Structure 1
Amino acid sequence: MEERLKEAPCGFISIDENGCVLEVNNRFLTWMGYEEDEVVGKHMETFLTRVNRMFIHTYFFPTIQLHNSVEEFYINLTTAAGESIPFLLNARRYMQEGLAVIDCMFIQMKQRIDYELELRSLQKTTEKAYQDREEAFVQLEKVYAEIARKQNEILEMNNELLKLSNTDKLTNISNRRFFQEELERHIDRYTKEGSVFSLLMVDIDHFKKVNDTYGHLAGDSVLVQLAGLLTQEMGPDDRVARLGGEEFVIILPETNAEEALKLAVKLNKAVENANWEIIDRLTVSIGASTFSESDTEVTILNCADLALYRAKENGRNCSIHYQEIG
């Protein structure tokens, strides 16, 4: 076995068509609590409950024989200590020196309690169906469909969790984590294609006075309304994110320094002229910077921050591009 596969971050076993283990990597041994000589040569049923053995023989092996692959198969394995661990199993069958070999990759699943309870209920239903041979096949078809549905729900839940991890909880726009990923992507695109882009760093003027005068709930309301206004004023390809506190940042693809400053000035006017729900008037200061060959992820942010600081010094409610002070 190659060293990279031996130390891969996912579990791996290679089995023959009878289900006997030919090779195993270190991650699988660690998860399952076995030594290599306790696994190689043993049937994979060693790690399975009775219900899962039935799944393996009624679905896994027939499918691998028919299609030479199985994707996203949900299965529970039992460790040497008797603990049940849920996995997603992907497998591929191929010929090696005239013999059929099946490579199996295991990825641990992180489940919510309600999903675990529902899946346990499905397993109990399966065990009952197994005991009642006359109804077993009818019940199994229903269980397979339900398991497939649950697997899809889990995958959808993971996608939703990813979306939530990239979203600011208060304003419902992108957060700092998403902004960092987008910034890296635009820098990579600039390096490969020379696609120019700019940043706008937006900070609310005298935001502390808003909180002190109207309260923090009112301040939160102002942040939410400003996030919506910035998103509305920007183009469909622009990325608006909240860095934290009262500070926002906007990535402007295909935008040079002159265009970036024009957009910043436009934002100043839009914010000043907006009808605010809580306060009578609000203004922002904006610092702009445009990526160049000498820039990095850190320097372009520093440039925008310096320009923002200069806009504050110039009386606020204005926009400054770093080129004007650099």
Structure 2
Amino acid sequence: MDERLIEAPCGFISIDHNGSIIEVNKTFLEWMGFKQENLVGKHFESLLTTGNKLIFHSYFYPNINLHGHVEELFINLRNQNGESVPYLMNARRFGQNGQEMIDCILVQMKKRIDYELELRTTKKQMEEAYIEKNLAFAKLEQIYLEIEKKQIELMEINSGLVEISNTDKLTGIPNRRFFQEKLEEQIELYLKEQKTFSLLIIDIDHFKKVNDTYGHQIGDIVLAKLANILKTQARPEDIAARFGGEEFVIILPHTGVDEAILMAQRINQEVERAEWKETGCLTVSVGAATFTVKDTEATILKNADQALYASKENGRNCATHFSEL
């Protein structure tokens, strides 16, 4: 690695086409508290949080393979202490001596904080100049308004980044990444305070037939309409999200086995009696599971999925709780 790049004022990581780290500069190591031997040879995804792994697979890899570069990707990496550190990443695919690699530049998001502090300092200097010298009040007022505008724009940008990264574009409800983060939070609450919660997985019956018969455009309309029904049926504290394809999930806080079954059955009924002008009729199968002390993130998903499979096997358009298996 070039000497200037080693201590460049930004993080630098080079990975091969499999995602293994080939090189990393001194700046990034110091920021994150690692040594060379901690990272070189390891997979880049070892630095990612669970939610950001989904971003990497759904956004980073497709864009780097299709366009050869990725610009300003908002991502969180875990440092040596396991803490989440926000970065903006730019990456470009690069070939050298017959070997393909991806060079990544990482800039810490704390630059935004420094920018806000600079704005406040500038504002204070302007006020002092006005008091001491009584100079150009109208001009100073205009500059002040521009600074306020920039502060508002900065807040909107940050808010927009978070909302975009957490929302499913087709249905407008939270996406799998947001669901994953909320599931982790519910498990932490259970482990700390024994707050019971349940999970539903909802799958559209014969959805492939809908696409094959009416086309994918109608299929998309069906997905969006079902998402709206689930959002309407969910309580304020529930989290309804699109899990992928024709599958949806709902996290039910403070909900035991009996309440979860009732909720799942109500969804069956509401979907069946809804007006489906596009397809004539539509039903869903539901699988439910309630978190226990023996469970993990993986097992509750597996349990709900097994319950969903049982609903499919029992003729579809019904709900099954894992405890009934």
TM norm structure 2: 0.60
AA matched with 1:284 = V
Contact 1:288 1:307 in 2 (8 A): yes
**CA distance in 2 between partners of 1:245 and 1:311 (Å):** 18
CA contact (8 A) 2:289 2:300 kept: yes
Hey, what's the Cα distance between the residues in 1 that align with 2:302 and 2:109? 45
In the alignment, the residues of structure 1 paired with residue 116 and residue 139 of structure 2 have an alpha-carbon distance, to the nearest angstrom, of 28
Where in structure 2 are the equivalents of 1:120-199 lying within 5 Å?
Answer: 138-199=138-199
* Rg comparison, structure with higher value: 1
Distance in 1 between the 2:152 and 2:108 partners?
A: 15
Partner of 2:276 in structure 1?
276
Preserved CA contact (<8 Å) 1:176 1:244 = yes
**Equivalent in the alignment of 1:205:** 205
**In structure 2, what is the equivalent of residue 261 of structure 1?**
261
Is it true that 1:236 corresponds to 2:250 in the alignment?
no
Contact 1:87-1:106 at 8 Å conserved across structures: no
Distance 2:108 2:188 in 1: 38
Contact 1:233 1:267 in 2 (8 A): yes
Using the alignment, how far apart are the partners of 1:208 and 1:181 within structure 2? 29
**Partner Cα distance (1:90, 1:157) in 2:** 11
Structure 2 spans left out of the alignment, 5+ residues: 1-8, 12-25, 32-106, 119-125, 127-132
Equivalent residue runs for 1:50-69 within 5 Å: none
User: What's 2:46 paired with?
Assistant: none
Aligned pair count? 215
> Could you report, residue by residue, the CA deviation over 1:111-145 in whole angstroms, capped at 9, with x for unpaired residues?
xxxxxxxxxxxxxxx9xxxxxx9975642331232
1:87/1:107 contact within 8 Å kept: no
Any unmatched runs of 5+ in structure 1? Answer: 1-8, 12-25, 32-84, 92-104, 110-125, 127-132
Matched, 1:315 2:315: yes
| 1:10–1:107 CA contact under 8 A, matched in 2 | no
One-letter amino acid of the structure 1 residue matched with residue 218 of structure 2: A
Query: What amino acid is aligned across from residue 291 of structure 1 in structure 2?
Result: F
Question: Is 1:224 equivalent to 2:224 in the alignment?
Answer: yes
Normalising by structure 1, we get a TM-score of 0.59
Aligned equivalents of 1:276 and 1:164: distance in 2?
A: 29
Task: Report the CA distance shift for 1:87/1:302 in structure 2 as closer, same or farther (over 3 A).
Answer: closer
Alignment root-mean-square deviation, CA? 3.5
- In the TM superposition, what whole-angstrom CA distance separates every residue of 1:124-167 from its partner, at most 9, and x where no partner exists? xx9xxxxxx99756423312320221122121121022111111
In 2, the alpha carbon distance for the partners of 1:88 and 1:300 equals 37
The answer to whether the Cα contact below 8 Å between 1:264 and 1:286 also exists between their aligned partners in 2 is: yes
Partners of 1:239 and 1:250 within 8 A in 2? yes
Whether the aligned pair in 2 keeps the contact of 1:200 and 1:286 (CA below 8 Å) is: yes
Does the aligned pair in 2 maintain the 1:166–1:175 contact within 8 Å? Answer: yes
- Structure 2 CA distance, aligned partners of 1:216 and 1:160? 29
Q: Is the 8 A contact 2:116 2:151 kept in 1?
A: no
The CA deviation string for residues 87-110 of structure 1, in whole angstroms up to 9 with x for no partner, is 97799xxxxxxxxxxxxx57999x
